[in-house]
């Protein structure tokens, strides 16, 4: 009896052992070559068979990860993940022998060279990520052979040039991240045929508009972000039927015409950003009917009309109409209207005498610098659209925008514990104001005169390490008194390193008590290195002082602060913070000269 059951047991064991089929020798050989190519042997000790049962490298959480499908007569490698491990060099050709791969994640590495045509052999792929790498050249048209692809991540991957037409075969795509690549040509019409697509990101490319009307059929779209289009104007007409939209960001896309009434019928829309376009007319009255809208950004458009409180839907958290002619009658509260009047030049901005300097330790506590300048406390937590006025009434700061990928994170201040080099004032640079969109400082109650503006910068969120983490690029623009003084400004490259101080110095005139220093993100650079939402303007400190008086002639063609809208209301049970901020206009159109100096801190 015992003997019999033992032999059954042995037979059963044999059954089990032989139930695990062998792995394709071609794939075993290929994966070993890949492991050696990227020197991963110490992390991925695949000795005999990459597909052995319960391998330590097989669970979903493993990285690097190899997982297999053994359901057929032979095991095949179906999953390969080498994520954020700083593998470098080109893709080895053995990779393309793993033709059963469904899931390949090579994101956040230092890979270079081109994406070879052989990628077309991986036709079973469902998930592919090459995000945040250093690739060169165009996408091969063979990528269009990956017809099962559902998710494709290639943002900040380094690829460039025209998007090949064969990509139109990727009809199963649900997620496409393609931002921050130097793609050229028009936005492909065929994207409008990806009827399953839910997420599409195309910001910071060199693509040209218009946004194809074919996008009107993408009714499953939940998250659409397009930005920085050249070419021809677009309209918002395509949005009517996109009822799944939750996030819609179309910044700087040359969108003209009026805002369609029907937009407010999008039931799930939470974030709407149409900043930096050419929209005209009024904000439709129907906007009060939005059922889910929380963040609304309409700044820098040719919009006009009145904002009234019944226009605002009750769940709105933030509204920005900076740089439009929208009037805010009926929205003023007392505190705000005092501010408003001072910024309009109708009254002095402080009760005290006017001043001729101000200094701010952006994002930090009061700090006296090595040469005795007192930088004011600016550690107040700002929201997605807010305005804060300093206690000495010498300056105010407004921030607008939401870090879309983590809207609830209080991330409007950056901080580091590291020492800052190239300065005697390390502490001054250990905190900084950051913003996903617009960060604006106003000097208030200033005497007329010629002023010197020192902007202090140090990159404290990005690194220059020889790693994928060193691939981050923060680019933003700076305007002083409405004149752009810095474009595509990159602190890290100008300072020559991370956590290294850099002072940029400018000169500008004050003729109407206000100094306007505006830092704006124009959609360029990386979004997500080393972590999600690492982009947008950053400034460490500001020091503004008068250098001389204005002489008579310049007063006649003075810049005028026009009808300024500057309000901040926290009301409606604390849910609503509205802050429409200012616009400036000139009596004389020509921008005038502005002297620009650079020096690095001693
Ligand atoms: C790989 O695993 C084998 C046994 O499974 C072990 O003898 C060897 O030392 C390991 N190699 C490395 C580099 O960890
Ligand atoms: C793999 O793990 C499962 C579940 O823990 C277990 O039942 C099985 O015996 C293991 N197989 C081997 C070969 O270790
Ligand atoms: C790719 O990276 C490798 C390893 O870092 C380097 O040796 C090679 O020069 C790079 N090639 C190109 C074309 O940049
Ligand atoms: C496209 O995929 C098929 C398998 O689906 C394969 O036979 C063919 O070689 C691939 N074409 C290219 C250009 O890689
Ligand atoms: C929206 O759908 C309706 C009904 O199917 C259709 O007539 C209309 O043209 C669509 N609008 C857009 C902008 O695609
Ligand atoms: C812009 O529109 C004009 C007129 O419709 C057309 O000739 C031109 O090719 C378009 N340019 C682009 C880049 O789409
Ligand atoms: C808002 O919605 C209500 C109810 O659906 C409707 O009666 C009203 O006309 C809408 N208002 C506007 C301005 O569209
Ligand atoms: C500022 O004022 C000075 C002296 O009055 C004048 O020479 C200069 O042109 C003015 N600059 C601007 C930008 O208006
Ligand atoms: C105006 O400023 C210019 C340059 O700063 C100077 O040369 C000139 O003398 C000044 N004129 C008066 C009236 O002060």
Contact 136, 113 (CB under 8 A): yes
Q: What is the number of the ligand 5 atom nearest to the C-alpha of 239?
A: 13
- Kindly state if the Cβ of 88 falls inside 6 Å of ligand 3: yes
Which ligand number lies closest to the CA of residue 166? 4
| Strand bridging mode 199-202 / 175-177 | parallel
Which ligand number lies closest to the CA of residue 265? 7
Q: What is the mean pLDDT of the chain?
A: 83
Q: Residue 273 — φ and ψ, nearest 5°?
A: -125, 110
**What does the DSSP assignment read for 116-154?**
-GGGGG-TT-SEEE--S----SPPPGGGGG-TT--EEE-
Cα(554) to ligand 8 centroid in Å equals 6
Cα(261) to ligand 6 centroid in Å equals 27
What region, left, alpha or beta, does residue 392 occupy, with left being phi > 0 and alpha being psi -120 to 50 degrees? alpha
The rounded distance, in Å, linking the Cα atoms of 154 and 179 is: 8
pLDDT tens column, 388-427:
788 888 898 888 777 777 665 556 899 999 999 999 999 9
**pLDDT at residue 384, as a whole number:** 63
**pLDDT at residue 308, as a whole number:** 65
3-state SS record for 230-284: EECCECCHHHCCCCCCCEEEEECCCEEEECCHHHHHCCCCCEEECCCCEEEEECC
Tokens of 601: 């801190």
3-class SS of residue 49: coil
**pLDDT at residue 97, as a whole number:** 97
Ligand 3: which residue has its CA nearest to atom 10?
A: 89
**pLDDT at residue 591, as a whole number:** 32
**pLDDT at residue 600, as a whole number:** 30
CA distances from 434 to 1, 415, 460, 519, 562 (A): 78, 10, 11, 10, 27
**Residues flanking ligand 5, CB < 6 Å:** 216, 237-238, 240-241
DSSP 37: H
Cα(118) to ligand 3 centroid in Å equals 20
**Residues flanking ligand 9, CB < 6 Å:** 551-552
The rounded distance, in Å, linking the Cα atoms of 362 and 541 is: 5
Which ligand number lies closest to the CA of residue 88? 3
**pLDDT at residue 311, as a whole number:** 64
**pLDDT at residue 602, as a whole number:** 24
Cα(145) to ligand 6 centroid in Å equals 31
pLDDT tens column, 226-242:
998 999 999 999 999 99
Ligand 9: which residue has its CA nearest to atom 5?
A: 551
Residues lower than pLDDT 50 in the chain: 1, 9-17, 330-338, 340-341, 344-346, 351, 553-602
For residue 247, cis peptide bond before it (omega within 30 degrees of 0)? no
**pLDDT at residue 19, as a whole number:** 58
Q: What is the number of the ligand 3 atom nearest to the C-alpha of 112?
A: 1
| Strand bridging mode 230-231 / 208-209 | parallel
Ligand 1: which residue has its CA nearest to atom 2?
A: 45
3-class SS of residue 14: helix
**pLDDT at residue 466, as a whole number:** 84
Domains and CATH numbers, the chain: 18-264 (3.80.10.10), 265-346+563-602 (no CATH), 351-562 (2.60.120.430)
Q: What is the number of the ligand 7 atom nearest to the C-alpha of 285?
A: 13
Contact 480, 516 (CB under 8 A): yes
Which ligand number lies closest to the CA of residue 169? 4
**pLDDT at residue 508, as a whole number:** 96
Tokens of 349: 């901005």
pTM for this predicted structure = 0.81
């Amino acid at each position: 009896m015992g003997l019999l059951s033992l032999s059954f047991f042995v037979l059963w064991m044999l059954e089990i052992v032989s139930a695990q089929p062998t792995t394709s020798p071609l794939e075993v050989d290929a994966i070993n070559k890949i492991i050696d190519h990227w020197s991963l042997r110490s992390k991925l000790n695949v000795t005999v068979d990459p597909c052995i049962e319960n391998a330590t490298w097989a669970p979903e959480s493993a990285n690097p990860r190899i997982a297999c499908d053994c359901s057929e007569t032979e095991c095949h490698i179906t999953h390969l993940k080498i994520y954020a491990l700083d593998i470098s060099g080109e893709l080895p050709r053995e990779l393309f022998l793993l033709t059963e791969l469904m899931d390949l994640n090579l994101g956040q590495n230092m890979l270079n060279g081109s994406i070879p045509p052989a990628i077309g052999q991986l036709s079973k792929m469902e998930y592919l990520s090459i995000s945040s790498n250093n690739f060169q050249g165009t996408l091969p048209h063979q990528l269009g052979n990956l017809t099962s692809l559902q998710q494709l991540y290639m943002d900040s991957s380094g690829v460039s040039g025209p998007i090949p037409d064969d990509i139109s075969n990727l009809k199963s795509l649900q997620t496409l991240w393609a931002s921050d690549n130097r793609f050229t040509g028009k936005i492909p019409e065929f994207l409008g045929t990806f009827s399953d697509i839910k997420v599409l990101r195309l910001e910071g490319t060199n693509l040209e508009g218009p946004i194809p009307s074919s996008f009107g059929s993408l009714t499953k779209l939940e998250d659409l972000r397009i930005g920085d289009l050249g070419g021809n104007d677009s309209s918002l007409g395509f949005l009517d039927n996109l009822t799944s939209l939750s996030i819609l960001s179309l910044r700087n896309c040359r969108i003209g015409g009026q805002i369609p009434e029907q937009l407010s019928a999008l039931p799930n829309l939470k974030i709407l950003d149409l900043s930096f376009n050419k929209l005209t007319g009024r904000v439709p009255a129907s906007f009060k009917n939005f059922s889910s809208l929380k963040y609304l950004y309409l700044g820098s458009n040719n919009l006009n009309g009145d904002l009234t409180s019944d226009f605002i839907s009750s769940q709105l958290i933030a509204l920005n109409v900076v740089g439009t002619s929208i009037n805010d009658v009926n929205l003023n509260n007392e505190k705000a209207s005092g501010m408003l009047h001072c910024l309009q030049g109708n009254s002095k901005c402080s009760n005290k005498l006017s001043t001729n300097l101000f200094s701010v330790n952006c994002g930090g506590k009061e700090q006296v610098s090595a040469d005795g300048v007192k930088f004011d406390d600016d550690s107040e937590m700002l929201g997605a659209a807010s305005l804060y006025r300093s206690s000495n009434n010498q300056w105010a700061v407004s921030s607008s925008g939401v870090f879309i990928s983590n809207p609830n994170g209080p991330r409007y201040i950056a901080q580091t514990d590291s020492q800052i080099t190239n300065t005697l004032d390390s502490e001054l640079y250990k905190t900084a104001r950051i913003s996903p969109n617009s960060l604006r400082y106003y000097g208030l109650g200033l005497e007329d005169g010629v002023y010197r503006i020192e902007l202090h910068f140090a990159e404290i969120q990005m690194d220059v390490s020889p790693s994928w983490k060193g691939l981050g690029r923060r680019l933003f623009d700076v305007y002083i008194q409405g004149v752009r003084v810095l474009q595509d400004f990159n602190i890290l490259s100008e300072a020559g390193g991370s956590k290294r101080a850099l002072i940029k110095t400018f000169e500008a005139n004050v003729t109407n008590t206000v100094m306007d220093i505006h830092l704006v993100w124009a959609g360029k650079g990386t979004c997500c290195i080393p972590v999600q939402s690492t982009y947008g303007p950053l400034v460490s400190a500001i020091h503004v002082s008068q250098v001389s008086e204005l002489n008579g002639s310049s007063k006649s063609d003075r810049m005028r602060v026009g009808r300024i809208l500057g309000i901040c209301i926290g009301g409606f049970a604390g849910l609503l913070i509205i802050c429409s901020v200012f616009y400036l206009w000139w009596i004389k159109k020509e921008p005038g000269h502005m002297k620009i100096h650079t020096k690095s801190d001693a």
